[in-house]
């Protein structure tokens, strides 16, 4: 049987994953639960794991998989790799790891220089990769925090020059600036929409924006 605090944390964990498609960080759980110390969250999460309500892959980002609801019934709503931002929910063996180019930083705030660094490679679990071509970027800024994408996160991008309205994309603006935003297509323009009320949606002509890829995964270091 769960304690009241364990039940509350499990409820918050499920709510965040269903709303954002990724597990929350300890900081986000602290804020949501009104706790001051991450050590308290750690104890509660450890208790949930020991009782078989969650599974964690230690030393990996957002590595939480919910196994049961608070009433003990099975939980089947963990984010899948096809979601806009996916979490790592099972261990990867050496044979299950692939390397993708880590192209540097991208702004989730004001746009920064276009991507050009192809010198670094990043290991990524095979289950996060489909049949397409992928690359990774480090997030700089906070304009996508309401989509669960934080400053310092690493995003996994499927290279593509097309996207649907509502997709989170890497957009190249005027051939020189790159940014991560949600795409909104309008009749004669393209809107790049943040996920933070402090930032404004930016509107461009269709010839000013080139789609470079779509968000397929997210990795966070705790």
Retrieve residue 127's tokens: 């289950």
Strands 177-185 and 168-173, by their bridges, are antiparallel
Measured distance CA(180)–CA(195) in Å, rounded: 10
Q: How many CA atoms lie within 13 A of 37 on its CB side?
A: 5
Which 8-state DSSP code applies to residue 80?
P
Nearest in space to 16 (alpha carbons), one of 68, 92, 87: 87
What positions carry a catalytic annotation? 143, 181
Six-digit token string for 132: 């397409």
Instruction: In whole angstroms, give the CA distance from residue 217 to residue 200.
Output: 25
């Amino acid at each position: 049987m769960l304690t009241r605090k364990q039940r509350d944390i499990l409820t918050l964990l499920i709510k965040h994953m269903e709303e954002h498609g990724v597990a929350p960080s300890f900081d986000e759980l602290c804020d949501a639960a009104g706790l001051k110390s991450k050590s308290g969250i750690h104890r509660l999460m450890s208790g949930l794991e020991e009782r078989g309500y969650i599974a964690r892959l230690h030393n990996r980002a957002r590595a939480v998989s919910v196994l049961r609801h608070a009433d003990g019934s099975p939980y089947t709503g963990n984010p899948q790799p096809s979601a806009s931002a996916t979490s790592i929910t099972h261990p990867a063996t050496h044979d299950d790891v692939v390397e993708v180019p880590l192209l540097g930083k991208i702004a989730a705030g004001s746009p920064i220089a276009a991507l050009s660094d192809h010198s670094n490679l990043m290991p990524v679990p095979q289950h996060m990769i489909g049949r397409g071509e992928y690359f990774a970027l480090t997030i700089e800024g906070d304009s996508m925090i309401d989509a669960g994408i934080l400053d310092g996160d690493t995003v996994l991008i499927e290279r593509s020059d097309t996207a649907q309205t509502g997709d989170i994309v890497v957009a190249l603006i005027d051939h020189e600036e790159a940014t991560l935003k949600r795409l909104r297509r309008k009749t004669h323009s393209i809107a790049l929409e943040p996920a933070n009320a402090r930032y404004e949606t930016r509107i461009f002509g269709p010839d000013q924006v080139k789609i470079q890829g779509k968000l397929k995964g997210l990795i966070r270091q705790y």
